[in-house]
Amino acid sequence: MKVIAAYNIKGGVGKTATAVNIAYLAASEGYRVLLWDLDPQAAASFLFRVRPKVKGGGKALIAGKRPVDDAIKATDFDNLDLLPADFTYRNLDLHLDGERKPATRLRSLLTPLRREYDLVMLDCPPSISLLSENVLHAADLLLVPLIPTTLSVRTLDQLTEFVAGFGGNQPKILAFFSMLDRRKHLHRQIVDELPATRDDVASAAIPALSAIERMSLQRAPITAVAPRSRAANCYRELWTEAMKSIIA
């Protein structure tokens, strides 16, 4: 079982859209996929029409009082299950802190699912916290959406440093340009220059497309409702690169 986390310290960069579409693409290729919506905003749960509610809340889940298995919901798509968000996830750091090995608790919770799933996709909330440490311990790959702006690049640097200095498992990083608008000079400039200075930036990029924004109306991955659209093709390219990265 491989674990990919759609992660960024910043919010509003396209993490959920990435998690949802990558999870769907993997499932459509026959991989058994679990998407864990760790964000209390519950956008991924909303997109799959799953009620953002976990019995006992995040506390029971983290404490192991409620098996992860019991909270999993099937989505409407073959091979793709969802562990929904819950509003109490906003206190996940507190709950994790109460555990004996707080930094590796997430990984422990995923261990029993190894036989059931080929891929776990984590849709992470924007932060750098105890939950982030847990994500680093659990993940094989961090998929980092990057809006081509100077501040975003600075955030990527911060994240890279954080991972490099991390004592435990060091997941690979695959950053990719998200919400790319080639009409903007700065976007074009960063897209042209950044890959020359870093080797962890994907060649695939996700443009700023209204079709992706419309996912919240259609409540389904764009890769499922419009599999031949430009957006879907971009996500497919990204999935191909992500897969190569985790099996390399």
Partner 1 sequence: MLSVLREFVLVDDAQEPGNNLPQIDDPRFGIAAARKSRTIRRTWLDTFDWRLFRAGLTLELLAGRGTTELVLTGRDGAVVATEAVSAVNGSRPIRWPSRLDHLPAGPLRERLAPVVGVRALLPVTKATSVLTELRAVNADEKTIAVLAVERMSVTQPHGVHQHGVHQHGAQPRTRVAVIPLRGYQAQASKVADLLERTPGVAPATQSPFEAALAGADRKPGAYTGKVNVLLTGTMPAALALATVLGSLFDTVEANLAGTIADIDTEFLHDLRVAVRRTRSVLKTAKTVLPAAIVGKYRAEFKWLGEVTTPTRDHDVYLLDLPSMATRLLAATGQELEPFGQYLERQRASAYRQLARDLRSARFTSLSSRWRRDLDQIASTPAKRPLTSPFAARRIARAHRLVLESGAAIQATSPPRALHDLRKLCKELRYLLEVFASLHDPAQQWRAVNELKALQDCLGEFQDTDIQIAELRAFATAMMADRSAPATTLLAMGEIAASLAARQAKARAEFAGRFAAFASPRGQARISALTRA
Cα–Cα distance, 224 to 26 (Å, whole number):
12
To which residue do tokens 């991924």 refer?
A: 44
Rounded least distance, CB 82 to partner 1, Å: 8
Q: CB–CB of 133/5 below 8 Å?
A: no
Pairing of strands 141-146, 2-6: parallel
Closest separation between CB of residue 22 and partner 1, Å?
21
Minimum CB separation of residue 85 from partner 1 in Å reads: 14
CB of 76 to partner 1, least distance (A): 4
Minimal distance, residue 80 CB to partner 1, in Å: 11
Tell the smallest beta-carbon distance from residue 51 to partner 1 (Å).
7
Give the interface with partner 1 as residue ranges (CB under 8 A).
48-51, 71-74, 76, 81, 219
Q: Is 27 or 103 the residue whose CB approaches partner 1 more closely?
A: 27
CB-nearer residue toward partner 1: 76 or 157: 76
* CB nearer to partner 1: pick between 74 and 94: 74
> Nearest CA to 213 among 236, 179, 175, 177?
179
Minimum CB distance to partner 1 smaller for 71 or for 142:
71
Q: How many Å apart are CA 135 and CA 57, to the nearest integer?
A: 19
- Using the minimum distance from each CB to partner 1, give the nearer residue, 76 or 213: 76
Nearer to partner 1 among residue 87 and residue 166 (C-beta)? 87
